[in-house]
Structure 1
Amino acid sequence: MNTTQISDSCVTCPYPNPQASLRLFCFPYAGGSSLIFRPWFNSLPKTVEVCPIELPGRGILMKLTPLSRLEPLIEDLAPVLLPHLDKPFAFFGHSMGALISFELARLLRREYNISPIHLFVSGRRAPQIPDRKPPIHALTEPEFIEELRRLNGTPKAVLESPELMQLLIPILRADFAAHETYIYTPASTLDCPITAFGGLQDEEVSGSELQAWQEQTNATFSRQMFSGDHFFLHSAQSLLLQSLSREIHRITSEISCQSP
């Protein structure tokens, strides 16, 4: 692998929608790729252009070394995203992706005076709450695989394939390291509304830890819970997309009312 910086190709948009009034940038969980958001394209309103983000080490960026710290990842992503922020935009991120989208929103405001119109965070405790569980990124391979099995986010067939795991483990270790070494720095609250999604059976994130995202915005906040564990965005996908669609309809209606 090489260590070339993230390029514009990290912003994927398989179905361009120039008439959309809103762009939704989607950030995957640890080990995930932009492909996890492919089922979303036909389920969300036509007023939104869905732009999944591909992180280094996977998909079309497979030759890039995965970044094991969050700060350099955010610093690389911001200037690449900037040309795509020429219309109202929102962020959606699940688990590690929620943390990426939050810190990216803070950096864009701080350095470019640009903010998302809405932040959707999913399956992740609020950033000011320290991790209550020991890190797993440096575990031995058998222990690491056992933790992946417990989290229930990696298909059993993949876990039992030595060839696939040989490709996936370096990416997962880097992603978990970026997530687990994150240190929250207090800053002024965001101006955009935040919606937090959670799984009712998620043992990684409690309802109160999701509710604490309210402290990160001086705008409106809402929390919505779905049946499922940490990966409810797959098991409860249709309900999640229905909820997201309602929010997007509301946001794009407001955008239309504000247009001259």
Structure 2
Amino acid sequence: MQNFFTANPWLQITRAAPRARLRLFCFPYSGGNAALFHAWQAELPAEIAVCPVQLPGRGARLAEPPFTQLAPLVRAVASALYDYFDQPFAFFGHSMGALLSFELARYLREHFQISPAHLIVSGHGAPQLPDRNPPIHALPHAEFIAKLREFNGTPSQVLDNPELLEIILPVLRADFAICETYRYEPRAPLACPISAFGGVADAYVSRAELVAWRAQTNATFSARLLPGDHFFINTTRAALLHALAQELEPVLRNHAVNPANGIADVVQAAGCVAP
């Protein structure tokens, strides 16, 4: 593996981490983008390098068509990020991002015999459970907008603006299609620890559905409920990052930094720190 960062449209790293011992790759929810995680570097322990993943169809990649199925997206992410897995790494994913990070961990195990040191899934029930929410990605325009209002994850200012809707609706429909067409295939549990986070008032993911993630690992498992609804990632950030840091602390204890391969140095040298 290469031990350096190169300019990569899949990553949007905004701040270097000179003391980092762990790369935390962060995957957004449906319609979300890498900007969701830009503030995290300043609020997490200095030993963690936050690596926000930018998917096609959003941000600087707005002109690229979004994926509509999970399997090809997993393959594309694995190919794009493989060279960055040469140091200890972990995954965090919320909602759709949880599903993506889980299947990416399985793909890396099966095709490259590598694994994240920890998988943190948030706002999504265990993948082996049936989806109790009816599909919405193919609904007519008005009905789709009404459902988005129910989810409370897209600002009203966006939903009431036809020009903004024209930009974000294709991505939202594509992301919902990824989740709603996903079909779980039973395989051996992962070897890495899994932590599952949920919102106390999340109407779409119950505590039991979070706890069911336990079946997906042969290592340790924990589940936490945090204040907020399905989008507690936005409203309860301090508590979320505190919990995340606690879950990753054992990983940091077990991996010493190599000064010759400092994460901040390779990020800055490659010029991939976003303005």
TM range (shorter): over 0.9
SS of residue paired to 1:242: helix
CA distance in 1, matches of 2:152, 2:234: 11
Q: Where do residues 15-30 of structure 1 align in structure 2 (5 Å cutoff)?
A: 15-30=15-30
CA distance in 1, matches of 2:19, 2:110: 29
Contact 2:20–2:47 (CA under 8 A) maintained in structure 1: yes
Q: In the alignment, residue 12 of structure 2 is paired with which amino acid? A: T
Q: Where do residues 1-260 of structure 1 align in structure 2 (5 Å cutoff)?
A: 8-256=8-256
Q: How many angstroms does 1:93 deviate by?
A: 0.1
- Farther off after superposition, 241-250 or 191-200: 241-250
TM-score by length of 1: 0.94
CA distance in 1, matches of 2:15, 2:39: 12
Contact 2:159–2:165 (CA under 8 A) maintained in structure 1: yes
- Farther off after superposition, 18-27 or 47-56: 18-27
SS of residue paired to 1:10: coil
CA distance in 2, matches of 1:38, 1:144: 29
CA distance in 1, matches of 2:36, 2:110: 30
Contact 1:11–1:54 (CA under 8 A) maintained in structure 2: yes
TM-score by length of 2: 0.89
Q: How many angstroms does 1:247 deviate by?
A: 2.2
Cα offsets for 1:156-204 (capped at 9, x unmatched):
1111111101101000000000110000001010000000000011010
Q: In the alignment, residue 122 of structure 1 is paired with which amino acid? A: S
Q: Post-superposition, which runs of at least 4 consecutive aligned residues in structure 1 deviate over 3 A?
A: none
Contact 1:196–1:222 (CA under 8 A) maintained in structure 2: yes
CA distance in 2, matches of 1:104, 1:217: 14
Q: How many angstroms does 1:10 deviate by?
A: 0.6
Q: In the alignment, residue 208 of structure 1 is paired with which amino acid? A: A
CA distance in 1, matches of 2:249, 2:133: 38
Contact 1:45–1:248 (CA under 8 A) maintained in structure 2: no
Cα offsets for 1:68-124 (capped at 9, x unmatched):
111110011101111101100000000000000000000000000010000000000
Structure 2 residue runs of 5 or longer lacking an equivalent are 1-6, 258-275
Q: Relative contact order: is structure 1 or structure 2 higher (C-alpha 8 Å, sep ≥ 6)?
A: 2
CA distance in 1, matches of 2:24, 2:133: 31
Share of identical aligned residues, percent? Answer: 51
CA distance in 1, matches of 2:240, 2:132: 27
Contact 2:121–2:194 (CA under 8 A) maintained in structure 1: yes
Alpha-carbon RMSD: 1.2
Q: In the alignment, residue 147 of structure 1 is paired with which amino acid? A: K
CA distance in 2, matches of 1:12, 1:85: 16
Q: In the alignment, residue 211 of structure 2 is paired with which amino acid? A: Q
SS of residue paired to 2:130: coil
